[in-house]
Amino acid sequence: MATLWSKGADATGTVEDFTVGNDRVLDLRLAKYDVQGSKAHIRMLESIGLLTSEELEALTAGLDEIAAEIEAGNFTLEDDIEDIHSQVEMNLTRKLGDIGKKIHSGRSRNDQVLVDIKLFLKDEVLRFRQEILDLFSLLQNLSEKHKDVLLPGYTHGQIAMPSSFGMWFGAYAEALSEDMYMLRGAYKVVDQNPLGSAAGYGSSFPLDRQMTTNLLGFGSMDYNSVAAQLSRGRAERATASAMGSIALTLNKFASDCCMYMCPNYGFISFPAEFTTGSSIMPHKKNPDVWEIIRGNCNRIMSTENEISLLCSNMPHGYHRDFQLLKDILFPALEMMHKCLYMTGYMLENIKVNKNILDSPLYDYLFTVEEVNRRVLSGTPFRDAYKAVGQEVNAGTFKADRTVNHTHIGSIGNLCNDLIASKMNDAASF
């Protein structure tokens, strides 16, 4: 295998297979970002006199050609090339000759991969932001549409108090706003330029790191070169933490949907083609989509912990262990995108049962309403509570299904406009 670092003694095939692993396949996702980083780097090299203007022009044109190949899906990692960074430099050298070799001046593969990953994660986080905003809008619309449809509320899995579909949909919309704050925090972590830290100790070249920070669109930089290398794993963990928060929201919502679809509840339903059947029970309409979302979100929530464990027990500086971060994080990113998409896809076709509370099964939902009515009429709370409890025990309680909740965040005052403002604030990055 052709390696940029080869000094005459190459690793055996067995060693190469083990140490490279799946990295070459995963590296292809970073190809366009490697080109972006290289274009910024060579502009900076020209500005400090390490490239001529003619060399910059030729290298930029060559990198643009490679970028076009990547965009068209024609860029490949050759069998004997170690990684994406090597392939880009090799392609340039084939096109341009020896000046292609100059793009690595003042860089290490350590800061190259950091740049690629951070640019990649910035795009991933922004993609999540839009997906969350789309799902949030859908949930808020459903909340408003069904705000007057009552729904049983549960504590300990037991019938508790009246809720509504407006509250249910709206609750998960607001939960997404908190997830968005987590995502904003992750963005702040990844939006820092490590380029110029080289192998973790800087360079004797007079690199203009502020220039590359501006060219690459980073909000700031990892100033200390050692700190830049310490960010490997931190950027991935911050992103995984934000994904874990989103996954927890979707996981709980999926669990609700699995329960509410059950005929014993019958609160919601979906078209038959959105469910699956049984090989022997002709009546079954299984919530497989929600179950897969729930299961995958459990896996996504484990990603942060797996990254944390991988990055533990290493002194500062680069270690090959970090290569495995891509194996952990990249599949989780794709899984998260799919779960967000499928949640929205299902919700676009949800049907709610508007007559749930007509059943006498839900009479006891209204005991608290009755206690509160008596308190408002002058009865001390403990006396009202005891009297209603005695009626329940005696089987004489008569439910008054009138609900009058007006305080902030209650059935009659969902505050969806204020929740939308919270989301707008959370998404301002």
pLDDT at 109: 87
Positions of CATH 1.20.200.10 in the chain: 110-357
CA 174/CA 333 separation, integer angstroms: 22
Closest CA to 384 of 392, 374, 376, 396: 374
Contact 144, 168 (CB under 8 A): no
pLDDT at 5: 47
Within 13 Å and on the Cβ side, how many CA atoms surround 52?
Answer: 4
Beta strand pairing call for 220-221 and 192-193? parallel
Per-residue pLDDT in tens (0 to 9) along the chain, 429 residues: 555 545 555 556 676 666 566 666 778 899 999 999 999 999 999 999 999 999 999 999 999 999 999 999 999 888 878 788 889 999 999 999 999 999 999 999 899 999 999 999 999 999 999 999 999 999 999 999 999 999 999 999 999 999 999 999 999 999 999 999 999 999 999 999 999 999 989 999 999 999 999 999 999 999 999 999 988 899 999 999 999 999 999 999 999 999 999 999 999 999 888 777 666 776 778 889 999 999 999 999 999 999 999 888 888 878 788 888 999 999 999 999 999 999 999 999 999 999 999 999 999 999 999 999 999 999 999 999 999 999 999 999 999 999 999 999 999 999 999 999 999 999 999
CATH of domain 13-105: 1.10.275.10
Closest CA to 371 of 409, 399, 395: 399
- Determine the residue type at 414: L
Q: Class assignment of domain 110-357? A: mainly alpha
Termini Cα distance of the chain:
42
pLDDT at 302: 97
The residue assigned the tokens 């967000």 is: 340
DSSP assigned state of 232:
T
**Alpha helices (runs of H) in 348-415, residue ranges in sequence order:** 367-376, 381-394
Token pair recorded at residue 55: 């060399």
Indicate whether this model's pTM tops 0.85.
yes
Positions of CATH 1.10.275.10 in the chain: 13-105
The residue assigned the tokens 């960010």 is: 231
